[in-house]
Amino acid sequence: MTAIDTRPVLRLRSRGEQVKRLQAALAGKGFGPGPVDGEFGPRTERAVREFQRAEGLEVDGIVGPQTWAALLGAGAGANGRRLSDRGVDFIARFEGFRGTLYNDPAGHCTIGYGHLVQRGGCDGSEPAELRAGISRQRAAQLLRTDAAVAEGAVRDSVRVDLTQQQFDALVSFTFNVGAGAFRRSTLLQRLNARAYEAVPEELRRWVTAGGRRLPGLVARRTAEAKLFTSGRYQ
């Protein structure tokens, strides 16, 4: 997740990209507010209150400087790392790009590198910027925001030192399989036991969907394993 230069006070009925960053940060800390949709509704407020209570902060449901600081604090094991620009490009290669609005296989309005615009089909109510189509650069910005949940999960769950390349490889993996799956994985257990050499083997276990071995997942896991071990962004 990119650092927020200005940290606006957010509260119920706030909207926009900063709310998306807030929702992603909450999810990365394990306080999932529901969809990362930029709408500060009752579910997001409830997640904020739960996070504030857990952190010993004033429980008011309002995201001010202290709550931002607690949310954006550095993780213990991953050296407070952030997904690099090369890491964003690495993930983008596997996600596929579409510069115009489309309905994904589940029927939800989507654009760019699989960025969810809204639940349900595209209906003309989308922001004008998106209706006009977006560039790969803008799509990468949206991807960085979307990857914040995976980024936070890696940063908060890993208790050993990581290089930037290792961090990016694990964020790519987590973005693909989900933060919950990563937290429950044997991969994370072995890594936190300092068995770095076991990570490529564990990555390559995650290559099936619906009981079928998928070539696309094989290629992605192979690239993630090479990035983790060799530090090369292919």
Greatest extent of the chain over all pairs of C-alpha atoms, in Å: 51
Give catalytic status of residue 95 as yes or no: yes
Spatial distance between the Cα atoms of 14 and 122, rounded to a whole number of angstroms: 23
Spatial distance between the Cα atoms of 3 and 1, rounded to a whole number of angstroms: 6
Catalytic residue of the set 50, 95, 151, 202: 95
Classify residue 148 as exposed, middle or buried by CB count within 10 Å of its CB (0-12, 13-18, 19+).
Answer: buried
Q: Which residues are catalytic?
A: 95
